Each structure stands twice: as structure tokens, then as C-alpha cells.
Amino acid sequence: MVHTVVDTSADQVETADSGNDGAQTPPPPEPAKTAERVTIRGIWSQFLDLPVSGDADQTLRYGGKADAYIDVKGSAVGIDDSLSLHVHPEFKYGKSSNGEIGLIPENAQLFYPGDGDVFDLSINVTKRWKSGASLTVGKINILDLAALTPLQGGGGHEGFQNLAVALPPSAIVPGSVTGALINVPTEKVLLRAIIFDPELQSRRSGLEDPFSKGVGILASATFPVRVGGKRGYYGIKFAGSTRSEVAAGSLPAALVPGPGSSFGNRKGEFSVILTVDQYLSEDAAVPGNGIGIFGQLYLSNGDPTFLDASGFIGIAGNPKKRPQDRFGVTYFRYSLADGLVNALRNRIPLQDEEGVEAFYTVGLAKTLRLTGNLQIVDSAISPRAVGITTGLRLTALF
């Protein structure tokens, strides 16, 4: 497996009407170290997973991921606090069952930022205005944005783990980008745009030959609505780039078309994404908690984009009698572009990949959570049998 490129619905939590929506992903603890102008917090997840059915080797695997988030206000260096610096070091270690069953990685946190025991660093600067608008420039970890989505959650430290839902692949927007992100929240809509280098920036500074493969853009509008008095967030997004070749670094070597292939020669790619997060019930005693449905539909024009359609739908939330806990169930389906499937027909038989993921998180303490996870996946690699993977995740916040 390699670095699947992604898109995310994280923009659904930053409207003026959103309140404490991020609480569906349990909020971080108080900063581990706090000065007036500097904040440091961390999160560490440890994973056990075991394939119990299918063609994969039934081996218990252990791995972990540790992230630190350092935020420095401008006044710490003698400038205005409307400017801030964000530093995000991350370290991944151990093993996982990624690639053993499905083409899409089953554990997003143990997929990024690369194979083996690896370190990565993201640094960006943000300017904020009194209107609520903001501009961020630098290297941006998209997993951080995905972690903010209501109901669905994201990122893989919390909630769902499969990349199909934790950081929905689009084959256009990388999981780590170099570029500029602008947010413009209003009472009726949140507008967001990201202009980025379409090459994956994991384990790179972002300054190596920037934009040599073209330029990408993701533009979105998310509308907060109330249905039956319950909050909902409905979004439309457009993603595209001027890239004129398949994102070879985002595919396993076996799925990269050879020289002279009929696929991957067209210049430019475009996709449209529709998203929904709708609460069915809300817990008045715990703002932000509740139960709701979520979903996404993705369509692209194909070549050179290697995904042409995908979607998922699910339900997630907090049990009212145990508001510190969280659960979720989702179904997803992803389709490789027909042109790619045809180009590789004599090398490897391919089909749509689909699966189901379910999890339950027990809040052991304010800063400690234990999650049980179950995934059933019918792989995009046709000869593979349907596989079942079970797992545990222990997450500590600092």
C-alpha cells in the first residue's frame, strides 16, 4: 500500500451556528503545558489488530501513533496575536494489517506518514481577522482537519479507523499538503478554499520542487440547517488539479500503468463531493453530544484520477446513559476508474471495494479511551476473499 490521496469534510464544524459540534469527537484535555502565549498538547494511540477471516495471515499486529500540537501566539515573539504558528510533529511505529485485505488502508493513523517507523513535521502560519475569517499558509496535515468533523469524526485517533471514512480518499487532494487554506465563516454558510501542490507532502518539507506537477484547488460551501429542530450540516465541494499524469506515488506499484498505457495521459482532473451530517437526537445535558447520520457521495471525471466514484453512509454518536462513550457503524463503497481497470486487466483483476466498519469507544477517564473495532471488507483485488479484521485502540490525551 501507498499514500492514498484524500478529501475531507472537516469544513462542517466551523460555521457560526456550529457551537460545540466538535464534541462528537471527544474534546482534547487541557494543554499539557501552557504559558500565556504557548500551548502544547498531545495524543497517543496504540493499536492491536487481527485478521480473523479471509486470505490474510491471521497474525496479531501492534503499532502506535503519537502526535504533538504546538501553538504559538504572535505576542510570544513581539507581534500581533492575530498571527500564530502551528507546529505538528508526529511519529508512527510498529505494524498493522493495512493492505492485507483491502486496497484502502484499514488504519488511517498507521498509514500516514509512510511505511515503517517514521517521523513527519508540519509547520504553518495563520492570520485571523475579527470577522472570523482566517488564512493558513505552509504544510497542512489534512488528518487534523478531518478530526474536526461532527458525528462522522475522522483522522483515526478517534472514531472510525478505515481511511475510507476517517479521511475519505478522492485521489486528488493529498493527505498532507503544501499551500494556502482560507476559511470564511458566516451565519448562513462556511466558505473554504485550499490551493495546494497536488503531490503528497508526507516526509517532505514542501519546498522540494513545489508545484512541479501542477496546482490543485478544493473549494467548498457548507450550510448549517435545522431539521425538526436538530442541527445538520450539508456541504458541496469541488476538487481539481492541473496534473497531467496519474498520481503514481499514491498507488501500489502493481496498480501503476506502464509506459504507453491508455490511462493517465489526459491533463486536468475534476470532482464534485456532496456531504451530510444530520443529528437525529441531541443531549441537552452535554452540549455537542447526540446521535445522527452522516454520508458522502463523490464523483470524478476519471483519467488521470484513479477513483471515479465513491460513497459512504453511517450512524454515530454518544449513548445518552454513557455520554463519555461513543459508537459508530458505516458502509462504504469505492470504485477505481474504468480506464485504469481496463488498462490493468491483463495484470490484475479489479472490482469495486466495499466494506462495513463498526466501533465502540469506552471513556475510561477524561484523558483515556478504549475502542473496539470490527471491519468487514470485500477487496478491490477480485481474487481476495471477503476479510474480517478485529482490533483494539487505546488513546491517551496529554
Write down the pLDDT at residue 35. 53
Residues 6+ apart with CB under 8 A from 28: 41, 43, 397
Question: Per residue in 140-174, pLDDT tens?
Answer: 999 888 888 888 887 899 999 999 999 998 889 98
Backbone angles phi, psi at 163, to 5 degrees: -60, -25
Q: Is residue 3 domain-resident?
A: no
H, E, C per residue of 121-166:
EEEEEEEECCCCCEEEEEEEEHHHHHCCCCCCCCCCCCCCCCHHHH
- Distance in angstroms (rounded) separating the CA atoms of residues 315 and 329: 6
Residues 6+ apart with CB under 8 A from 130: none
DSSP 267: -
pLDDT above 70 coverage of the chain, percent: 91
Is-contact 272 245, C-beta < 8 A?
no
Backbone angles phi, psi at 20, to 5 degrees: -105, 40
Question: Per residue in 337-382, pLDDT tens?
Answer: 999 999 998 889 999 999 999 999 999 999 999 999 999 999 999 9
Write down the pLDDT at residue 33. 47
Q: Is residue 279 domain-resident?
A: yes
Question: Per residue in 62-115, pLDDT tens?
Answer: 999 999 999 999 999 999 999 999 999 999 999 999 999 999 999 999 999 988
For residues 204-214, give the mean pLDDT: 89
- Distance in angstroms (rounded) separating the CA atoms of residues 305 and 260: 17
Q: Is residue 4 domain-resident?
A: no
C-alpha cell at 393: 485502540
Residue found by looking up cell 429542530 in the block? 229
Write down the pLDDT at residue 338. 92
**Domain CATH number, residue 304:** 2.40.160.180
- Distance in angstroms (rounded) separating the CA atoms of residues 327 and 370: 12
C-alpha cell at 54: 479471509
C-alpha cell at 45: 494511540
> What pTM, to 2 d.p., does this model score?
0.89
Q: Is residue 69 domain-resident?
A: yes
For the purposes of burial, counting CB atoms within 10 Å of the CB of 347, is it exposed (0-12), middle (13-18) or buried (19 or more)? exposed
Q: Is residue 268 domain-resident?
A: yes
Distances (CA, A) of 36 to 74, 87, 127, 210: 11, 17, 19, 36
- Distance in angstroms (rounded) separating the CA atoms of residues 122 and 386: 37
Q: To which H or E segment does residue 342 belong?
A: helix 338-343
Residues 6+ apart with CB under 8 A from 395: 43, 44, 45, 46, 157, 158, 368, 369, 370, 371
Backbone angles phi, psi at 222, to 5 degrees: -120, 130
Write down the pLDDT at residue 149. 86
Q: Is residue 58 domain-resident?
A: yes
Residue 196's domain comprises 10-397
- Distance in angstroms (rounded) separating the CA atoms of residues 17 and 231: 9
Counting the structural domains of the chain, the total is 1
Q: Is residue 135 domain-resident?
A: yes
- Distance in angstroms (rounded) separating the CA atoms of residues 357 and 235: 23
- Pairing verdict, β 118-128 and 83-94: antiparallel
Q: Is residue 146 domain-resident?
A: yes
Dihedral sign (CA 112, 220, 181, 82): negative
pLDDT at 18 over 70: no
